[in-house]
């Protein structure tokens, strides 16, 4: 799996927090707004980026994913240099790991009751056009049935949260 996040804090604070053992949070990579990429945890090692999460019925997403944090507040568009760097890094990761498109997800997809990142401003369609992730959702309906959401990977225990996460990822227009 490839799990994408935003930091909600600036670059220096993000780097400090992700490298602080007391914070108990980490990621494999951090991408600054200018496109600078920091490799923080080896891909073969577990990073603590997804927390309590689930995808396709499996828990412990941290043990089966690569996490990328993007410096962004969540309320602003992602910068072009940052997305360009993410595209290059994403292609590189996918060249080494057989990650299917439906397993390129946001933190909100795997933890819909707790997280909103990378948010409705994240350019999922652009990533998919570059071969990273899936766009659009396989079901052309505005909102798939709960069984379809669950079959795709979402934990539908809290259906409103799963629907909100789905909409942020696949139908971001009007989502705040």
The domain in which residue 9 lies consists of 2-170
Query: Is pLDDT above 80 for 173?
Result: no
| Total domains, the chain | 1
In a domain, 138, yes or no: yes
Per-residue pLDDT reduced to its tens digit, 70-90? 999 999 999 999 999 999 999
Catalytic residue among 69, 80, 102, 145: 69
Q: Is residue 80 annotated as a catalytic residue, yes or no?
A: no
pLDDT in tens, 26-71: 999 999 999 999 999 999 999 999 999 999 999 999 999 999 999 9
Asked if residue 11 belongs to a domain, the reply is: yes
- Nearest in space to 7 (alpha carbons), one of 81, 51, 68: 68
Q: Is residue 26 part of a domain?
A: yes
pLDDT tens figures, 139-172: 666 677 899 899 999 999 999 999 999 999 998 8
Q: Decide if pLDDT at 10 tops 70.
A: yes
How many C-beta atoms surround the C-beta of residue 16 within 10 A? Answer: 12
Position 175 in a domain: no
How crowded is residue 40: how many other Cβ atoms within 10 Å of its Cβ? 18
176: in domain: no
Beta carbons within 8 Å of 103's beta carbon, 6+ residues apart? 1, 2, 55, 56, 153
């Amino acid at each position: 799996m490839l799990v994408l996040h935003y930091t909600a804090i600036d670059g220096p604070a993000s780097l400090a927090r992700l490298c602080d053992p007391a914070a108990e949070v980490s990621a494999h990579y951090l991408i600054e707004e200018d496109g600078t990429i920091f490799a923080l945890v080896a891909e073969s090692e577990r990073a603590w980026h997804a927390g309590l999460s689930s995808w396709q019925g499996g828990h412990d997403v941290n043990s089966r994913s690569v996490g990328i944090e993007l410096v962004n507040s969540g309320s602003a568009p992602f910068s072009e240099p940052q997305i360009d760097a993410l595209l290059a890094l994403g292609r590189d990761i996918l060249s080494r790991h057989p990650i299917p498109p439906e397993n390129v997800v946001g933190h909100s997809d795997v933890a819909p009751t707790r997280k909103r990142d990378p948010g409705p401003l994240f350019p999922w369609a652009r990533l998919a056009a570059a071969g990273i992730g899936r766009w659009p959702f396989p079901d052309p309906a505005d909102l798939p049935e709960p069984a379809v959401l669950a079959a795709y990977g979402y934990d539908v225990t809290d259906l409103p949260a799963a629907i909100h996460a789905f909409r942020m990822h696949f139908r971001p227009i009007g989502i705040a």
